[in-house]
A and B are shown apart, each in its own frame.
Chain A
Amino acid sequence: MATRKETPSTPTAPMASTSPGATLDSPVKQIQIEGLVVLKMIKHYQEEGQGSEVVQGVLLGLVVEDRLEITNCFPFPQHTEDDADFDEVQYQMEMMRSLRHVNIDHLHVGWYQSTYYGSFVSRALLDSQFSYQHAIEESVVLIYDPIKTAQGSLSLKAYRLTPKLMEICKEKDFSAEGLKKALIGFEHMFEEVPIVIENSHLINVLMWELEEKCTVADKHELLNLSSSNHLEKSLQLLMDRVDDMSQDIVKYNTYSRNLSKQQQQKHQYIQRRQQENAQRQTRGETPLPEEDVSKMFKPPQPPPRMDTLLIAGQINNYCQNVKEFTSQNLGKLFMAEALQGHNS
């Protein structure tokens, strides 16, 4: 902890996330991020990510009481086609060792990822976060939304898998019954951890100095009135998800119909067999042997529900995004209207 002093200071950037308020029974209740990490992540995206491409990296830090302090990070290098034998784990190890040599925190505490219009709830994220959390209990995933950030407010959120979901992932039971038993809904898949951004005093001082120097004109992105582009994109993505959802539902529907049909057949078969046996008994013959009914009627493969759940989560996410965006924009528009009226 040589690089940082353990003194509380006021955050310079606005807090990006709101606390969910729910009591969390996980080892991490709060996340404290160094300004350096945020800047590094943003820089990483600016340099390498564009459009819907996603950048990822490793978070370093350590746990203090119930607070996870993230003090540094480094990006995963972009994969190119020609070095297919590139070993990511090897690279991480190498990187961490080097960092240790220069006396920087080298404990792996999670990873970060950029997102495109808030579409990050996916199978890949779930799987990797699961493996992280499985190996290092306190790991989190930081989601950085560059588009929202470009609109004037930093958007950075930390997520962890809920213990329930962890259990399910451990058992790999994604059937409808399993999920039902675990009482997992799309709302209970991820838990959001509140974030505090903290800087050293020296930096704070520098910031104060800078603030005095810079003009007001630089901050106007916040008041941008255009909305349709962003909304269109969000809607497009939302629509795609809804389509997927529809397909899944149809699949599930056919599955359950097949299942019930088969059950009926099975039932009929058993009844017939019983009747025949009863007849045979009256005639004094030996009853037919009970065959393995389950072998004759193989139940259809139930469709995995995890994807549906993820899609639902994603849809929820989009909806929240759109809601947030529209309400903000409405406010802005009213403000603009008032200003116009005042002027004229």
Chain B
Amino acid sequence: RSELTNLIKTIRNAMKIRDMSKCLEEFEQLCRAFLKSKTIVDKEGMPPFYIRLLSDLEDYLNQLWEDKEGKKKMNKNNAKALSTLRQKIRKYNRDYETEIASYKEVRLFAMTTQDGRFLVICCCCFLANNTYQVFGNIFVTFLSQSPGDCGNRMHESFNGRHTSEKKKEDRKKRHKRKERVEEEAEEEAQEEDEGEWEKVKGGVPLVKVGNQMFAKGTEINTTVVVKKLNEILQARGKKGTDRAAQIELLHALANISNENILGEGILVKIKFNIIASLYDYNPNLAAFMKADMWKKCLDCIDELLDILFNNNNIFIGENITEDSENLAIIDSQPFRVRGCILTLVERMDEEFTKIMQNTDPHSQEYVDNLKDEGRVCGIIDRLLGYLETKGSTEEVCRVYLRRIMHTYYKFDYKAHRRALGLQGETKSEQDAEESEGEDSAFIMDRLCKFIYAKDRTDRIRTCAILCHIYHHALHSRWYQARDLMLMSHLQDNIQHADPPVQILYNRTMVQLGICAFRQGMIKDAHNALLDIQSSGRAKELLGQGLLMRNMQERNAEQEKIEKRRQVPFHMHINLELLECVYLVSAMLLEIPYMAAHEFDARRRMISKQFHHQLRVGERQPLLGPPESMREHVVAASKSMKMGDWRTCHSFIINEKMNSKVWDLFPETQCVREMLVRKIQEESLRTYLFTYSSVYDSISMETLKEMFELELPMVHSIISKMIINEELMASLDQPTQTVVMHRTEPTSLQNMALQLAEKLGGLVENNERVFDLKQGVYGGYFNRAFRLDQMAPQKYFDVNLTISSSHDR
């Protein structure tokens, strides 16, 4: 047999290099060798690899034959060999027609399934059969193309098997691998020993329905049901198994066990399996559950939880082995069932996310689906209650995190109203409100603190912290949110986290920035949003949509992964709001800064993006009234530059902007008031920076009237500017005026300073050239050289100051 495999190898090689004569030679040898091993073949049946070769070879030859161009190019020897070989193989293959046909069928099937993981599963169940080699061999070729070490590992083991003939060894190997694979495969391997080619179509025959499941008259008891259950489960994951039918069967089984009062243990077990098969229904990881499946799944989990709550004596857990399960009703002995309810619920949650991801967010369907969110939350809540009494701390942490994940992004309107002190209209309403449950803030606090204290995996804690911050920020508890963010030191090591956590971090950061803005901490808001906004990929960073990029950067596989990371629509942060908040805070910071440093040669920008927007605005050939949010901000910036706060105000806060941005905040009125105040203040500052050179003195009364600020406010702003040495002036208390000192350099002097700076740069560059020539770095020459060059520059300085002082 090894002789055969060797020959096949050489033939394949020859095929690859199109060496027909070699091919023919080897083929003849192969036929002879095959005849020799006839006896073994008769005993064991046709070796599948042989069939495979025959079929492949024929295909290959036909293909070559078709290719007239290629044939002409071939040398005579080869061409001759080709025609003889073709005829031979035709004749030869006629004997094995059936086998080849079935092989092709299988191959076709394998080609159509693309998901690598699924293939692995398929492979595993085929392993269970005797025909494993056939399929194994086939799949190896496909698996080697599919990514991941799993495929490679399979490949190796298959290759290993080619050489060894002993079946027992195979068994052992199989056992080892089985640990990775689902348990079902194990059972199958032992039970089923007859395997044929038809496997593809059939699956395990389970087309018996309802009561006919059991032979009439059989006493239905626990063991029988368990046996039947196992029987059904064996088909799970196999090719061709009708998954819907399987679910039906399981339901029927559940009914039977209910009718016969076999106790909750067995029922729980069956339910577990039903849910698992529901999850299995979709072969593809990317696909999402159908609506009816999803409903069924929710119902099932609900029922399961009902049972668990009603029966205190059921123990479930992953660590209970199949053997130590206790399903039968034995008095005073609790049920022990294998399975983990937490995993099921987690999976359910993921499915829910998947469904939301795959629904068009602007359709009614999305709203309908979103209605299930309440149920999902309810289930998680119930599970939480259950696990708090029974589960380990680790499990509790996990379920808490799920709960947190469903809470953190929701704005708690009830608590908000309560905090505002709005009394309910009537006493009863108020009572109803209070009895409806605690504030989400308290819940978050309790859950998160538990996780901080008890969690041992870093990931859950990180997520909990981020959600907690997000929740704080969402409810305008800026200081708590900021302190938590700073204390957690997440900024330092977030880049090591996995992408979903990073997305959560970005969301939190953005929410924090928006919160700071609402609280009037413009600088903090700007800093928090800077990173996200300056990249220009806010959409991607927040997991709210993919950016159009060329395909080199991202292939289909990556795209799929990225799609799976997207945040469902109802959790999105409004990007326009985000950008507007960022731009407005940039405007409030940048415009006074620009006014203050108008003549600075090396002025740095606070916000590049804002400058970009300004430039875009300037480039417009025709300036109409602003339309988009950005245009509004740009127009506002322009009027602010002139110190015209009223126009600025009307650009920032108007009908359009209200509907686009500001109304999205919960405390719209507060935010707007804050904004007006900020605009007034910053406009005052800008005005003073820009026009201070025009004034000898200015009365604070006038400023107060101009900017509609209170006198103390004006006083404090001006004092601050004087202290920071931004404004060269002094306050005259009795007359309430600002007296300008007029020590700022004139534009000419500024220009001279700039020139001096530039000349300095020039000299430096020149020196470098000089250094290179001389091969000396910073030698004596340099100094002399520099003095030479500096002379004219000094000359200008002196001259200019004199002349400009005389100018006045």
Contact call B765/A249, Cβ cutoff below 8 A: yes
Contact call A246/B803, Cβ cutoff below 8 A: no
Q: Which among B761, B762, B766, B802 has the greatest number of chain A C-beta atoms within 10 A?
A: B762
User: Contacts A232-B748, A235-B748, A319-B792: A333 and B755 contacting too (C-beta < 8 A)?
Assistant: no
Contact call A253/B752, Cβ cutoff below 8 A: no
**Residues of chain A in range 239-275 having any CB-CB distance to chain B below 8 Å:** 239, 242-243, 245-246, 249-250, 252-253, 256-257, 260
Decide yes or no whether B622 CB sits under 8 A from chain A.
no
Q: With CB as the reference atom, state the residue of chain B lying closest to A250.
A: B765
Contact call B769/A249, Cβ cutoff below 8 A: yes
In the complex, chain A residues whose CB is within 8 Å of the CB of B807: 225-228
Contact call A231/B803, Cβ cutoff below 8 A: yes
Contact call B758/A243, Cβ cutoff below 8 A: yes
Contact call A246/B762, Cβ cutoff below 8 A: yes
In the complex, chain A residues whose CB is within 8 Å of the CB of B747: 228, 232
User: Least Cβ distance of A236 to chain B in Å?
Assistant: 7
In the complex, chain B residues whose CB is within 8 Å of the CB of A128: none
Decide yes or no whether B168 CB sits under 8 A from chain A.
no
Contact call B803/A242, Cβ cutoff below 8 A: no
Q: With CB as the reference atom, state the residue of chain A lying closest to B771.
A: A253
User: Least Cβ distance of A317 to chain B in Å?
Assistant: 13
**Among candidates A238, A246, A260, A319, residue contacting B772 with C-beta atoms closer than 8 Å:** A260
Decide yes or no whether A95 CB sits under 8 A from chain B.
no
**Among candidates A236, A260, A333, residue contacting B806 with C-beta atoms closer than 8 Å:** A333
Q: Mark B735-768, 1 if CB is under 8 A from A, else 0.
A: 0000000000011100110110011011001101
Contact call A257/B772, Cβ cutoff below 8 A: yes
Decide yes or no whether B799 CB sits under 8 A from chain A.
yes
* Separation of A22 and B804 alpha carbons in the complex (Å): 37
In the complex, chain B residues whose CB is within 8 Å of the CB of A227: 803, 807
Contact call B772/A231, Cβ cutoff below 8 A: no
Decide yes or no whether B796 CB sits under 8 A from chain A.
yes
Contact call A246/B804, Cβ cutoff below 8 A: no
Contact call B800/A231, Cβ cutoff below 8 A: yes
* Separation of A227 and B752 alpha carbons in the complex (Å): 14
Contact call B751/A239, Cβ cutoff below 8 A: yes
Contact call B765/A232, Cβ cutoff below 8 A: no
**Among candidates A226, A228, A242, A252, residue contacting B762 with C-beta atoms closer than 8 Å:** A242
Contact call A232/B803, Cβ cutoff below 8 A: no
Contact call B761/A231, Cβ cutoff below 8 A: no
* Separation of A242 and B755 alpha carbons in the complex (Å): 8
User: Contacts A243-B758, A256-B772, A260-B772: A326 and B751 contacting too (C-beta < 8 A)?
Assistant: no
Contact call A252/B758, Cβ cutoff below 8 A: no
* Separation of A252 and B768 alpha carbons in the complex (Å): 10
Contact call A329/B772, Cβ cutoff below 8 A: no
Q: With CB as the reference atom, state the residue of chain B lying closest to A249.
A: B765
In the complex, chain A residues whose CB is within 8 Å of the CB of B761: 246
Contact call A228/B746, Cβ cutoff below 8 A: yes
User: Least Cβ distance of B602 to chain A in Å?
Assistant: 13
Q: With CB as the reference atom, state the residue of chain A lying closest to B807.
A: A228
* Separation of A235 and B749 alpha carbons in the complex (Å): 10
Decide yes or no whether A184 CB sits under 8 A from chain B.
no
User: Contacts A231-B748, A235-B748: A330 and B769 contacting too (C-beta < 8 A)?
Assistant: no
User: Least Cβ distance of A179 to chain B in Å?
Assistant: 15
Q: Mark B769-808, 1 if CB is under 8 A from A, else 0.
A: 1001100000000000000000010011001101110110
**Among candidates B746, B766, B800, B802, residue contacting A249 with C-beta atoms closer than 8 Å:** B766
* Separation of A242 and B414 alpha carbons in the complex (Å): 66
Decide yes or no whether A322 CB sits under 8 A from chain B.
yes
* Separation of A239 and B748 alpha carbons in the complex (Å): 12
In the complex, chain B residues whose CB is within 8 Å of the CB of A245: 762
In the complex, chain A residues whose CB is within 8 Å of the CB of B795: 323
Q: Mark A316-333, 1 if CB is under 8 A from B, else 0.
A: 000100110010011001
**Residues of chain A in range 301-343 having any CB-CB distance to chain B below 8 Å:** 319, 322-323, 326, 329-330, 333
**Among candidates A228, A249, A257, residue contacting B803 with C-beta atoms closer than 8 Å:** A228
**Residues of chain A in range 267-285 having any CB-CB distance to chain B below 8 Å:** none
Contact call B755/A235, Cβ cutoff below 8 A: yes
**Among candidates B755, B758, B768, B802, residue contacting A253 with C-beta atoms closer than 8 Å:** B768
User: Least Cβ distance of A23 to chain B in Å?
Assistant: 28
User: Least Cβ distance of A91 to chain B in Å?
Assistant: 36
* Separation of A245 and B762 alpha carbons in the complex (Å): 7
* Separation of A54 and B752 alpha carbons in the complex (Å): 27
Q: Which among A243, A246, A319 has the greatest number of chain B C-beta atoms within 10 A?
A: A246
User: Least Cβ distance of B386 to chain A in Å?
Assistant: 72
In the complex, chain A residues whose CB is within 8 Å of the CB of B803: 227-228, 231, 326, 329-330, 333
Q: With CB as the reference atom, state the residue of chain A lying closest to B755.
A: A239
In the complex, chain B residues whose CB is within 8 Å of the CB of A228: 746-748, 803-804, 807
* Separation of A333 and B808 alpha carbons in the complex (Å): 12
* Separation of A50 and B802 alpha carbons in the complex (Å): 31
Known: A231-B800, A242-B755, A249-B765. 12 other contacts (CB 8 A): A225-B807, A226-B807, A228-B746, A235-B748, A235-B752, A239-B751, A239-B755, A242-B758, A246-B758, A246-B761, A249-B762, A253-B769
User: What are 14 A-B interface contacts by the 8 Å CB criterion?
Assistant: A225-B807, A226-B807, A228-B746, A228-B748, A231-B748, A231-B800, A232-B751, A235-B751, A236-B751, A246-B761, A246-B762, A249-B766, A322-B796, A333-B803
The 10 closest A-B pairs by CB, nearest first: A249-B765, A235-B751, A228-B748, A326-B799, A333-B806, A246-B762, A242-B758, A253-B769, A256-B772, A239-B755
Give B contacts to A, CB under 8 Å.
746-748, 751-752, 754-755, 758-759, 761-762, 765-766, 768-769, 772-773, 792, 795-796, 799-800, 802-804, 806-807
Give A contacts to B, CB under 8 Å.
225-228, 231-232, 235-236, 238-239, 242-243, 245-246, 249-250, 252-253, 256-257, 260, 319, 322-323, 326, 329-330, 333
